[in-house]
Structure 1
Amino acid sequence: MGLLTPDPGLVFWSALTFGLLVFILKRYAWKPILHAVKSREETIEYALAAAEKARAEVEDLNVTKVQIMDEAKAQRDDLIKQARDIKKSMLDDAKLKAQSEADKIIAAARVQIEREKNEAILQLKEKVAEFSVDIASKLLEEELQTSDKQKAIIDKYLQEVNFN
């Protein structure tokens, strides 16, 4: 027999062994192997779905984070603007109050100065009047010691006075 021609007994026993092997594998090994492969496939699909879901959640979180950051920046800018406006308003109010107080103080000082000036003028007039009277009385005392001088002064004043 040649190498290429099979022996019928060998073919029979090989087919029988192969069939028995297929039966044993089908009975005991194929179901657990297929079950393990299917389980592994489901686990991989679940892991891929979970990874996709996690990726989508991360993208959503990034978008949310950007929105929150934008809102926070806008709120910060609004707060800074409000603080600046309040500061400006407070400074303006303080300036107005200070100017008003200064105007009141200046007005009061002017009134006080005018009053003191009038009092000083009045006192000066009184002093001048006193000095004038003192000087006049001293002059008259000296001038009117003789009767000739008295007569001359009376005549002079009588000529100045007009009786019309």
Structure 2
Amino acid sequence: METLLNDFSPGLFAVQTILLLGLIFLMVKFAWKPILNSLNDREEGIQNALDAAENAKKEMENLQADNQKLLNEARAEREEMLKEAREMKNKMIEDAKEEANEAASKLMAQAQATIETEKKAAISELKSQVANLSIEIAEKVVREELSNKDKQVKLVESMLGEATLN
């Protein structure tokens, strides 16, 4: 530090001070404003980018809320469609059961009618066979009875006796 004080020259100090002040003046006059302007522009650009990011964030939140709302509506609509499909399925099952019951009732009625008709036909045929069989038996008995003269006379007398009684 001592050598600095020994080598100190007031003239050189004054010239360096004037040059420094001149440099500062030139810097303030020509460079300071553009530097400040560029810093201000940069600050505004950063602020605009932050504002745009904030707006984008708000818009994203709004879109997410809209998406959630649409998703909830779609879920509700899906549930409604599933409910309607279940109801339609149950209705179709009930209708099929009713149709099956009606068809079964018709088949039962037709079967009963067919059974009744066949029963009547069987009874009619049975009566016819019994009548034919009775006639055949009567013919055989009458032939047997009529082959003998004494039996013929007795048969005629008995028939006449019954005819008068009736």
TM-score (norm: length of structure 1): 0.85
Identify the residue that residue 96 of structure 1 maps to in structure 2: 98
Higher relative contact order (CA 8 A, sep 6+): 2
Q: Deviations over 1:89-134 (max 9, x none)?
A: 1111112112211211221121112111101110110111011011
Q: Is the 8 A contact 2:146 2:152 kept in 1?
A: yes
Please point out which of 147, 162, 165 is paired with 1:162.
Answer: 165
Shift of 1:64: 1.8
Please point out which of 48, 58, 61 is paired with 1:59.
Answer: 61
| Cα distance in 2 for residues equivalent to 1:16 and 1:148 | 190
Q: Aligned to 2:165, what secondary structure does the other structure show?
A: coil
| Cα distance in 2 for residues equivalent to 1:97 and 1:41 | 82
Mapping 1:17-96, distance limit 5 Å: 17-96=19-98
| Cα distance in 2 for residues equivalent to 1:25 and 1:12 | 20
Distance 1:94 1:159, change over 3 A: closer
| Cα distance in 2 for residues equivalent to 1:40 and 1:118 | 113
For 1:18, the aligned partner's letter is L
| Cα distance in 2 for residues equivalent to 1:145 and 1:159 | 22
Percent identical residues: 39
Identify the residue that residue 109 of structure 2 maps to in structure 1: 107
**RMSD of Structure 2 on Structure 1 (CA):** 2.5
**Any unmatched runs of 5+ in structure 2?**
none
Q: Is the 8 A contact 2:145 2:152 kept in 1?
A: yes
Greater Cα shift, 128-137 or 66-75: 66-75
For 1:90, the aligned partner's letter is M
TM-score (norm: length of structure 2): 0.84
